[in-house]
């Protein structure tokens, strides 16, 4: 069992790196077909299953799916250990099955697991919770499994750019750190220091509460008309958080997704009209 999990994670890492739409740490989608944009999942298996059903990639040959923040949350073992790695394994298998159409972008909980730094969720330090569950399940092989998880997470792209001006990231640098952010992080090889504060991948995945001034600056700098982010909790599933920003969550019963046509241009208002509650998907 551990050997198969490690093999799967290694195949997922290879699929991340070989994605035909990947350029550096950025996925550039074509100007045709469609994409389903999701928010944080945090171990929510039922919503993942709904996303897979909605996408129906076996039938919809020109559809892409963007996933993010799969770990930390959801079911626990009898000792309170976080079992979200099980959903991560299923998401990796999904990526391996559809290597050029499933794109899993890096989030702050991913960077925290890679660097083994504290990350709190609902009053619990999630790395301790997840690592302890991995130790109980995989025992002597747990260190190999944890290393393979780290290597997979580190191989993830940072963002997805659509030809219609939409940029999907986990987050953006906060206002006070924008000047320290180096956009060349999208082009060059990722280094471990990039995911540790104040590295640019860290700043990209941890920022919150963005001012409109920052969004306008980032729009010009990154050549993006509209940002679709996760990271910030959304009680109702989504919100318009700026003139050019929508935040989506997919990790609870009010979670949602955003399907778009890659050949069309959209206003933020039109994008909000296209949002689908995951609870509406059978």
Which pair of structure tokens corresponds to residue 270? 């039109």
What does the pLDDT read at residue 112? 97
**Strand order across the beta sheet in which 256-261 lies:** 102-105, 63-68, 34-40, 256-261, 276-277
What does the pLDDT read at residue 213? 97
**Once rounded to an integer, what is the mean pLDDT over residues 269-281?**
97
123 vs 160, higher pLDDT: 160
Query: CA 8 to CA 92: how far, in whole Å?
Result: 7
* Three-class DSSP labels, the chain: CHHHHHHHHHHHHHHHHHCCCEECCEEECCCCCEEEEEEECCCCHHHHHHHHHHHCCCCCCCEEEEEECCCCCCCECCCCCECCHHHHHHHHHHHHHCCCCEEEECCHHHHHHHHCCCCEECCEEHHHHHHHHHHHHHHHHHHHHHHHHHHHHHCCCCEEECCCCEEEECCCCCHHHHHHCCHHHHCCCCCHHHHCCCCHHHHHHHCCCCCHHHHHHHHHHHCCCEEEECCCCCCCCEEEEECCEEEEECCCCCCEEEEEECCCCCCHHHHHHHCEEHHHCC
Q: What are phi and psi of 65, to 5 degrees?
A: -130, 130
**Structural domain tally of the chain?**
1
This prediction has a pTM of 0.97
Checking if the pLDDT of 180 tops 90, the result is yes
Reported confidence tier of residue 126, pLDDT bands at 50, 70, 90: very high
Distance of CA 39 to the CA centre of its chain: 7
Reported confidence tier of residue 87, pLDDT bands at 50, 70, 90: very high
What does the pLDDT read at residue 224? 97
What does the pLDDT read at residue 55? 98
Query: CA 226 to CA 94: how far, in whole Å?
Result: 27
Which pair of structure tokens corresponds to residue 139? 């025992």
Residue 234 near residue 42, CB atoms below 8 Å: no
Checking if the pLDDT of 187 tops 80, the result is yes
What does the pLDDT read at residue 235? 94
Domain coverage including residue 259: 2-280
Residues 183, 248, 44, 253, Cα dihedral to 10°: 170
**Once rounded to an integer, what is the mean pLDDT over residues 120-140?**
94
CA atoms within 13 A on the CB side of 265: 3
Reported confidence tier of residue 8, pLDDT bands at 50, 70, 90: very high
Write the CATH number for 265: 3.60.21.10
Checking if the pLDDT of 158 tops 80, the result is yes
Checking if the pLDDT of 282 tops 80, the result is no
Residue 35 near residue 260, CB atoms below 8 Å: yes
Q: What are phi and psi of 145, to 5 degrees?
A: -65, -45
Reported confidence tier of residue 250, pLDDT bands at 50, 70, 90: very high
Checking if the pLDDT of 63 tops 80, the result is yes
Query: CA 121 to CA 31: how far, in whole Å?
Result: 37
Query: CA 53 to CA 40: how far, in whole Å?
Result: 17
What does the pLDDT read at residue 123? 86
Checking if the pLDDT of 239 tops 80, the result is yes
**Once rounded to an integer, what is the mean pLDDT over residues 16-40?**
98
* In the chain, % of residues over pLDDT 70: 100
What does the pLDDT read at residue 121? 87
Reported confidence tier of residue 122, pLDDT bands at 50, 70, 90: confident
Which tens digit of pLDDT belongs to each residue from 194-229?
999 999 999 999 999 999 999 999 999 999 999 999
What does the pLDDT read at residue 72? 98
What does the pLDDT read at residue 227? 98
161 DSSP β-pair partners: 28, 167
């Amino acid at each position: 069992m551990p050997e198969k999990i490690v093999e799967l994670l290694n195949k997922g890492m290879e699929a991340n790196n070989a994605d035909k739409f990947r350029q550096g740490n950025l996925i550039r989608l074509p100007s045709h077909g469609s994409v389903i944009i999701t928010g944080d999942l945090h171990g929510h298996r039922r919503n993942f299953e709904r996303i897979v059903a909605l996408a129906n990639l076996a039938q919809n040959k020109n559809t892409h799916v963007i996933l993010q923040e799969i770990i930390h949350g959801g079911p626990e073992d009898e000792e309170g250990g976080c079992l979200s790695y099980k959903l991560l394994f299923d998401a990796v298998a999904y990526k391996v099955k559809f290597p050029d159409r499933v794109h899993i972008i890096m989030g702050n909980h991913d960077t925290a697991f890679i660097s083994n730094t504290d990350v709190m969720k609902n009053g619990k330090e999630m790395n301790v919770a997840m690592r302890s569950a991995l130790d109980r399940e995989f025992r002597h092989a747990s260190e190999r499994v944890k290393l393979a998880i780290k290597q997979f997470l580190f191989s993830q792209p940072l963002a997805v750019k659509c030809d219609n001006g939409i940029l999907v990231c986990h987050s953006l640098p906060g206002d006070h750190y924008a000047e320290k952010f180096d956009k060349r992080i999208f082009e060059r090889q990722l280094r471990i220091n990039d995911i540790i504060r104040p590295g640019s991948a860290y700043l990209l995945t941890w920022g919150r509460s963005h001012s409109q001034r920052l969004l306008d600056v980032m729009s010009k700098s990154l050549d993006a008309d509209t940002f679709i982010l996760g990271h910030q909790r959304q009680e109702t599933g989504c919100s318009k958080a700026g003139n050019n920003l929508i935040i989506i969550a997919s990790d609870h019963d009010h979670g949602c997704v955003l399907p778009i046509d890659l050949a069309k241009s959209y206003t933020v208002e039109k994008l909000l009209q296209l949002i689908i509650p995951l609870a509406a998907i059978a």
